[in-house]
Structure 1
Amino acid sequence: RIGNGTEPFVPVPNEPNSIFIQTPQYLLLSPDSRNIDGLISFVYNSGCESTNITSYLCDRAILAPMNDVVSKIKTRMISRLAISEMSYYSSDSIDDSCPSHSTLEALYPTEFLNTIVIPGLPDHILQLKIGVPIMLLRNLDPSRGLCNGTRLIVTQLTGCVIEGEIITGKAIGSRVYIPRIVTTSSQYKWPFKLRRRQFPVRLSYVMTINRSQGQTLNRVGATCHLMSSHTVNYMWHFQELHHQTACKFSLKIAQFHMSIAHIM
Structure 2
Amino acid sequence: MAITSPATGERSVADRLLGILGAFDAKNRELTVSEISRRCGIPIATTHRMVAKLISWGALERTIEGRCTIGLWLWSQTARATRHFALHDVAMPHMLQLHDRTRTMVNLSVMDDLDGVWLESIWSNQECYSDSRAVGNRFPLHATASGMVLLAHADPATQERFFAGHPNSRDKFTASDAAELRKEFRQVKHQGFAVYEGELDDGVIAIAAPVRERNGNVIAALAANVCPISQEIPNRSRLVRAAAQRVSSALALLQA
Scaled to the shorter chain, the TM-score interval is under 0.3
TM-score (norm 2): 0.27
TM-score (norm 1): 0.26
Relative to total residues, which structure has the larger helix share, 1 or 2?
A: 2
Say which structure, 1 or 2, has more relative contact order (CA 8 Å, 6+ apart).
1
